[in-house]
Amino acid sequence: MDGIYVTLDEAAELEGIQYKTMSKRIDRSPEKFVVAKEQREGGGKELTMVAVSSLSKKARTAWKEREKLKAVAEVPDQDTGKKPEAPWYVNEDIDWFIENHRDKWYRAMELGNIVREFMDYEGKNKVGFARDFAKERLGKNMRTLYRYVDDYMEAQAWADKLHKADGGNYDFFKVLCLCRKPKDAGTFPSFRPEVRQAIKNIWFNKEFAQNQGTKQMLYDKLEEVKAANKWEKIPSYSSVTRYIDYLMQDEHMKNAWYLASRGEREYRNKVMVKGERCTSDLKVMELVMGDEHTFDCWVSYTHPNGKVTAVRPTLVAWIDIRSRMVMGDVICHHANSEILKESLLKMLYQDAGGVPQSIYIDNGKDYTSKEMTGYNRNDRKRMEFDDATKGFYKSIGIEDYHRALPYYAWTKGNVERLFGTVCSKFSKWITSYTGTLTGSKTFAKVQKDVDGMLERGELMTMEEFFERWTYWLHNVYMLRPHSGLKKQGEDYTTPKGCFENAERYEKPLPPKSYATTLMLKSERCYVRNVGIKMQGLTYMSDDLCDYIHEYVDVKYDPHDMQTVYIFQNEKQVCEAYAQELLTFASKNGVEQKALKEHLRRQKMQIRKDKERLEEANVSFAELNEQYTGFNEVTGGVDLMIGKKPAGKSAKVVAMPEDNTYRNGFRGKGTDEPQEESDYINKKAEEALRALRAL
């Protein structure tokens, strides 16, 4: 190092001080520094050169690192012919490192202060001082301390080199050099390709995932694979677990594992991306959604046979998508098509006062039964009898209905969220609440002695429960601001306010008597010699004799099977009644009443057919004479000119499209005024006169 000089500027850099400070230090203590003057190549003022040997130990060490760095950068590697690569921290993103390894950064800053303190030591017995200093300040040996010093000086040399190249500040190299190089995620160099694939094959195996296989189970199986394939070694258990975590998180394979372990149905429900529907463009009563909900509490229920048990009540209700208004709520033990019809009629005639344009229904058997839709679930021909073809929905005036896909509960999210609100805001206040029925939430089960509560009379009856429900629905739910209405920017944020004031879809209701008719069930039956066999009963009527060995359509009330209504070609034929079966012999010589009725019907049938036969054999001349001067009007034209009094005005209703209703069938239990049928009959007479005039 003797005879080697550096410029005054470079000497200041090696000492870590400014140029002026170095110049003043030389002027104050000229005996400590060996200085020489050197002429510049281009002339001008002479350069002041300082001997490296006269600089401090810290500066001399930094000069050595610079010279070493120059030699390494210029001499290529003998094996590869390439120049050695720069340390890892030269190309590191300092912002990323601090953000992701903040603790390592601050520990390295503290370590740098310790290294600089050791480098500034100028005393005697440097080796002994280094040994004691490393033990006290670092808790390590002297070799580790010297390694830190070498790394620090190398980083300082790289910082100076890059600073001269582009003028940037690279002092952070002095901190990064004291940190461990971050490991590249996902490299796992000790994992051979066959081991990686074996781990994937086990972990993502469908049966293994469905049984909730653990990482320890995987490692045990991996050892068996190792023995079978005669591998020398496999990674440790901790390395395998880290590799699995890497696959699940960094490689984004946790959803694939969820698909293998839970199945496609659960995957679609929990993981698959969903779409959000826009409900603000709908009108009130333009789309109504219906579903059933089993409450998570128990009530006392009296069965038809008088037995009293504890049951979970079931709610059948409809919700208007625009306003979130709940309508047609019916609470029962078990829901069926009859309960569903009752709920729908309650919505139409009591709550809404109109017919919705479309409905969105659950895919359950109650909502998609033949009675409701008009055809079997798997029948796409839809060639059935009249309103059974259209089904209850379209017969009542609903233009269209949509079925939710099975196991896609999120497609009817509005009503599902409503039931969640019912559970959290209403059911949990009931003392008999026992937790949710959903299997995925078994932790929410609440243990209750339901049988004991029933015996002690602590359970509400079904009627009392319905009263509490009605109060909560009309006084709490409908009057509270709804978050969904706020989100879609409604002026009225309560369900009731939005339902009454928002833009509405208007369609008048059909007559109530027609709705009563639709409550009857429909069935196609074969007419035998003995009548119609249905539900263990035999039905016969005088007018039904003409349809023996033919198929007819039957309407009936399942709660009153005494009378059924017979139709063919959309026209009512007659009413048939349940018949008393004939016995093989009379008892004590008493004549059977059923036998007398049967003989009378036989005689009437043959007499009617004989009359028809005679009528068919009448000649044309005789038939023409019967129609000469056929009415009190000549040629079908009225003799006098006048005006007949106007009939009574009829109530404005939507006329049903059902042909059975148009042809005069009203069913039982009608509550409509007679003027409707009189009006239709009057119009029919006027049409008949016009035909006769032709």
Three-state DSSP state, 528: strand
* 672 has a pLDDT exceeding 50: no
- For CA atoms 413, 414, 418, 419, the dihedral sign is negative
List, in sequence order, the alpha helices (H) in 298-346: 337-346
Q: What is the pLDDT of residue 670?
A: 44
* 669 has a pLDDT exceeding 60: no
Nearest one of 14, 5, 7, 11 to 119, comparing CA atoms: 14
Q: Are 333 and 351 in contact (CB under 8 A)?
A: no
Cα–Cα distances in Å, from 26 out to 6, 33, 36, 52, 673? 14, 7, 12, 13, 123
pLDDT in tens, 101-115: 889 899 999 999 998
Q: What is the pLDDT of residue 379?
A: 54
Q: What is the pLDDT of residue 75?
A: 39
Q: Which of 251-260, 483-492, 595-604 has the lowest mean pLDDT?
A: 595-604
* 438 has a pLDDT exceeding 60: no
Q: What is the pLDDT of residue 382?
A: 44
Query: Which residues does residue 502 pair with via DSSP β-bridges, in sequence order?
Result: none
Q: Are 494 and 481 in contact (CB under 8 A)?
A: yes
- Burial of residue 323 (CB within 10 Å: 0-12, 13-18, 19+) is buried
The angle formed by the CA atoms of residues 56, 62 and 65, to the nearest 5 degrees, is: 145
Q: What is the pLDDT of residue 475?
A: 93
* 631 has a pLDDT exceeding 50: no
CA 369 to chain centre: 25
Q: What is the pLDDT of residue 580?
A: 62
Q: Give the pLDDT mean for 1-26.
A: 79
State how far the Cα of 667 lies from the Cα of 109, in Å rounded to an integer.
93
Better pLDDT: 316 or 338:
316
Residues 6+ apart with CB under 8 A from 114: 137, 138
Number of residues that this document lists for the chain: 694
State how far the Cα of 325 lies from the Cα of 284, in Å rounded to an integer.
9
Q: What is the pLDDT of residue 623?
A: 59
Q: What is the pLDDT of residue 584?
A: 44
Q: Are 402 and 361 in contact (CB under 8 A)?
A: yes
Highest mean pLDDT among 75-89, 316-330, 590-604, 607-621: 316-330
Q: How confident is the model at residue 417 (pLDDT cuts 50, 70, 90)?
A: confident
Q: Give the pLDDT mean for 241-267.
A: 88
Q: What is the pLDDT of residue 585?
A: 44
Residue 479: DSSP 8-state: T
Helices 57-74 + 102-119 axis angle, to 10: 120
Q: How confident is the model at residue 380 (pLDDT cuts 50, 70, 90)?
A: very low
* 643 has a pLDDT exceeding 60: no
Q: Give the pLDDT mean for 173-182.
A: 87
* 634 has a pLDDT exceeding 60: no
State how far the Cα of 352 lies from the Cα of 355, in Å rounded to an integer.
8
Q: What is the pLDDT of residue 68?
A: 63
Q: How confident is the model at residue 90 (pLDDT cuts 50, 70, 90)?
A: confident
* 20 has a pLDDT exceeding 70: yes
Q: Identify the helix (H) or strand (E) that includes residue 28.
A: helix 19-28
Better pLDDT: 68 or 196:
196
Percent of the chain past pLDDT 70, that is, above it, reads 71
Q: How confident is the model at residue 465 (pLDDT cuts 50, 70, 90)?
A: very high
pLDDT in tens, 309-325: 999 999 999 889 889 89
- Burial of residue 570 (CB within 10 Å: 0-12, 13-18, 19+) is middle
Cα–Cα distances in Å, from 159 out to 66, 165, 178? 10, 10, 14
**Structure tokens, 675:** 């003027």
Is-above-0.75 flag for pTM?
no
Q: What is the pLDDT of residue 469?
A: 93
Residue 665: DSSP 8-state: -
Q: Are 461 and 299 in contact (CB under 8 A)?
A: yes
Q: Which of 360-374, 379-393, 474-488, 592-606 has the lowest mean pLDDT?
A: 379-393
Q: Are 110 and 181 in contact (CB under 8 A)?
A: no
List, in sequence order, the alpha helices (H) in 456-592: 462-472, 483-487, 495-501, 512-518
State how far the Cα of 575 lies from the Cα of 563, in Å rounded to an integer.
7
Better pLDDT: 86 or 532:
532
Q: Are 362 and 520 in contact (CB under 8 A)?
A: no
Three-state DSSP state, 284: strand
Three-state DSSP state, 57: helix
Three-state DSSP state, 638: coil
Q: What is the pLDDT of residue 224?
A: 92
